[in-house]
Chains A and B, each alone.
Chain A
Amino acid sequence: MAHTSLDVVNQSARTSTPPQARSTLEVAKLIDISRCIGCKACQSACMEWNDLRDEVGVQEGFYTSPADLSDQSWTLMRFNEEVIDGKLQWLILKDGCLHCQDPGCLKACPAPGAIVQYSNGIVDFQQDQCIGCGYCTAGCPFHIPRLSGKDAKVYKCTLCSDRVAVGLEPACVKSCPTGALHFGSKEDMLFEAEHRLVDLVERGFAKAAVYDPRGVGGTHVVLVLPHGDRPEAYGLPANPRVGPLLQVWRSGLARAAGVATMAAVLVAGVLHYMRHGPLEVPPEGDQGVKP
């Protein structure tokens, strides 16, 4: 949302290095699912702060509403229904961008500066630079960014980069009534997460775990999962990663190899012409040999 600043450390499809002199505190949002009561205050706060209004949908037989993330719904409480020990339970996921340290969306994006990463770790889309190709939606291991049908731009959670930039916590965190959401430095959030884990294990959730996946370099939204051995049950990939296809497709090496191939064809043509000259029809009477 916000424009390029000195705090941008990584930009999509740029040939130049962004300014690196300043560095700010690395931040993170902590989501402790064990404390979530599913009130959806975070969803409302996100809509309020960001001036978003999704279309009013219909009841689809589950408590999740709206049914999916969209250009108007940047965070969504997903009520995954599971039968555990004979009882129906909600494994709630506050879905939305996890702000990867190694973001697949940014790697995939071909539009210079359309996706940026700040030194505080927030990954942000600059919609005015977006060309609507949707490569970010292919690059994201979490299926988060959504292409709008209205303006052909992609939207997702900004981690309230505009609020964070002026020292406020994200709107969702401010609205959370139970302390399931926390915001602070990544270091503090991990420390806090470990505390919550100890508490959870004491309460019988022996498999509780912190979700801060290494495959994407860690994330700036960290989750405490009571059933940490089964992130898939919450709708989270167990081992998210940018993946070899994207690594090859959008790599500097592939780009260099492609451009070198083209250059080689051009150079070969020029050299061949210089060495052999054009193929011309020989003068009349000299047509004994034919190609």
Chain B
Amino acid sequence: MLTRQKATTLIINLLIMNDLLKLKNVNLKYQTGNEIIKVLKNINIETKKNESISIVGESGSGKTSLIMLAGGLEKATSGKIFFEDQEISKMSEDEVSKIRRKNIGIVFQSFYLIPNYTAVENVALTLELNNLKNPYNRAKELLDRFGLKNRFNNLPSQLSGGEQQRVAIARAIALKPKLILADEPTGNLDSENSKMIADILFKYIKEEKSSLIMVTHDPKLANKAKRKIKIKDGKIV
């Protein structure tokens, strides 16, 4: 028999299960000398599966810090962060790395491809890391899909900005992660390339039913997301 209490727990669990990422009363402070800077104040965000969120705000408002906490790349000063049903804010660096490598893809404004790795090696890296078979063939398939068929063996320095960002996105989605975190993905690109990158990202989350949290200054790109969160002085407004 399903008691009332058990039913409530089940519903809560189902709700949590449906949550991909959850930030609960999260605060982030930095200490510079004697000064304590409150970067994020009492942040509460819930991201459902197959949801896209854009985070907007002025420079220094805490957008990037928020995305770093979401990816488990920074420890919150207080509060709880859950990825699916697991509290990553309590986990060690290695445990968070394990979750990140399987579930989260990150796209940076400055692309950050490994300079002495070719395009295909950069993409294959994440596949190899997860012990998947034929990482190079899979990497080539992805690059081919992104129009980089002739760029497989080029080093990042031999690629244009748009091409570098496409390689970076290929690397981020190679494992079909449940969540993509993008920090100003078009910030260093011209409008034509920006459009191409945005299309790739949104097409991917639609096809793979993934979620996207994206920091951007570009209103057009921000409006493409299902939900928009504005941050001001470390608070969601």
A and B from one complex: no
Contacts from B to A (Cβ < 8 Å) = none
